[in-house]
Structure 1
Amino acid sequence: MNHQGLSPRPAPIRRRIAAILLPITLLSSTACLAVAPPADPERARMAAGKSRFDKLCVSCHGAEGAGKDTYGPRLKNRPELDEARIRDRIIHGKHGDHAMPPWGTVLKEAEIEQLVAYVNMLRQENAGRPAALLTPFDLDDPARIEAGRKRFAKTCAGYCHGHEGVGGRAPDFKGRTDLTAEVMFTTISKGRVGADVMPPWGDALSEEQIWELVAYLQFLGRQQLD
């Protein structure tokens, strides 16, 4: 029969179902991409402040503001340095003896506040007590460990470190408890030269992504070798 000029036939049932399910599928796919929750704002701010301090201030004030035999003064365990004074010195700098550059012309307001938060923490710390590890989230967070696992599988396994950190060209990670979080973060960020050469990932990954890798490596360290 010639159907020319007639109204188009109703769409097949399969096409109708597909049209209904497509938005649900897209929503599910989008949800799967969000593998980790947002970093805790206060922890993230403190960790960012430490990271910026290590890049800009350590050469003058020493690691963790210890200040021993450095150009700049000690910042650790200095209760007399109130928050307003810390902020003013970071923004405007200091002239004269032991001059300090004004970072207010270089850093954004949020970045300055991150530095203020970190230095404010340092000045209240006991100089004889080890500083707490500053990370933007809990390294035992299962969601962060899973994000690190996926990134490890894409960038680290196979050629160098092997599936789940075992059997690659580089030393195994599973069952290792000798690697501290700080060492792992630094090695991933800056790489390593020598016999076990490793490229630096600091320019390719954000600090948060590197910490997720550290979270996964710590998880592997708690597992027993088969």
Structure 2
Amino acid sequence: MSRVEKSIPQRIQHVLLAFAGIALSASAFAVAPPAKDKTADTTAGQHRFEKLCVTCHGPSGDGAPGRAPKLQGRTDLTKAAIHDRIVTGKHGEHPMPPWGTVLDEKAIGELVAYVSWLGTQQGKVEHAGLAPFDLKDPERIEAGHKRFNKTCAGYCHGYEGVGGRAPDFKGRDDLTAEDMYQTIYHGREGADVMPPWGGALSDEIIWELVAYLQYLGTQPAE
């Protein structure tokens, strides 16, 4: 056997090892977890909290006597403790169902993020801080403008937020972003009835509508 023939297996081995190293590097890169959007988790947790938890804990996490303790200002609650309580529930005084058999880990993590955020709050909770983007972003305002004209203007609110069957929006500095979001999401009953859009519009679209309505509030009333 010639020297060249003897060197072929060794060369193949070197090539295979090189490819193996590249494959391992690529694999390690592929499974690296992406940066997590904490604001998105907290916002998603807010919506889940509003569906599952407000009956006992209240819409602002301020609790209810005889039913559930308050969650606001609870700096004593660690994320691990919140996670454990959501998963396992609680017996005895202030009982709570175990959600670990109903919710997956992603949903539980979102609730943990929101309850942890509630623990830093005091008084009325303003969820405007949970908006997934800057409400003064011109592109978001324009997107909300287009959605408003398509969905809200024709029958009730009028184009540019004036002249419809519902109250005007221009010059309205009494409406907070939280008020707007909650009204769009849950709707309203009474004299100025409004359907709930939370099941039809995505969270992002609702916040774009809020951005546009806030912009209208800065414009002179007509």
What TM-score, normalized by structure 1, do the two folds share? 0.74
Matches within 5 A, 1:73-88: 73-88=69-84
**Structure-2 residue corresponding to 1:181:** 177
Displacement of 1:223 in angstroms is 1.0
Distance 1:143 1:65, change over 3 A: same
Query: What is the letter of the counterpart of residue 148 of structure 2?
Result: F
1: CA distance between counterparts of 2:38 and 2:212?
22
Shift of 1:151: 0.6
2:47 matches 1:51: yes
Question: Match for 2:51: what amino acid?
Answer: K
- Equivalent residue number for residue 136 of structure 2: 140
Distance in 2 of aligned mates of 1:216 and 1:70: 41
Task: Output one character per residue of 1:56-88: Cα deviation in whole Å (capped at 9) or x when no partner.
Answer: 112212233222425012222222221111101
Contact map agreement 2:64 2:70 (CA 8 A) in 1: yes
Residues 1:196 and 1:162: Cα distance change in structure 2 (over 3 Å): same
CA deviations 1:157-210 (Å, max 9, x no partner) are 122211111222222111211122222122222222333222222221122211
Deviation at 1:213, TM superposition (A): 0.7
Deviation at 1:124, TM superposition (A): 3.6
Match of 2:115 in 1: 119
SS of 2:50 mapped into structure 1: helix
Length-normalised TM-score, structure 2:
0.75
Counterpart residue number, 1:150? 146
Partner of residue 200, structure 1: 196
Closer/same/farther in 2, CA of residues 70 and 95 from structure 1, 3 Å limit: closer
Cα deviations by residue, 1:108-139 (Å, 9 ceiling, x for unpaired): 222111110111122244x4x55443222221
| Aligned mates of 2:114, 2:161 — CA distance in 1 | 34
Structure 1 stretches lacking a partner, 5+ long: 1-39
Q: Which moved more, 1:206-215 or 1:133-142?
A: 133-142
Shift of the 96–140 alpha-carbon distance from structure 1 to 2, 3 Å rule, reads same
The 5 Å alignment of 1:1-226 reads 41-125=37-121, 127=122, 130-133=124-127, 134-225=130-221
Q: Which has the higher helix share?
A: 2
- Output the CA distance in 2 between the equivalents of 1:76 and 1:175: 33
User: CA–CA distance in 1 between the matches of 2:69 and 2:213?
Assistant: 36
Letter in 2 for 1:149: H
User: What is the one-letter code of the residue matched to 1:113?
Assistant: G
Q: RMSD over aligned Cα, in angstroms?
A: 2.0
Among all aligned residue pairs of Structure 1 and Structure 2, give the percentage whose two residues are the same amino acid: 63
Aligned-pair CA distance for 1:154? 0.6
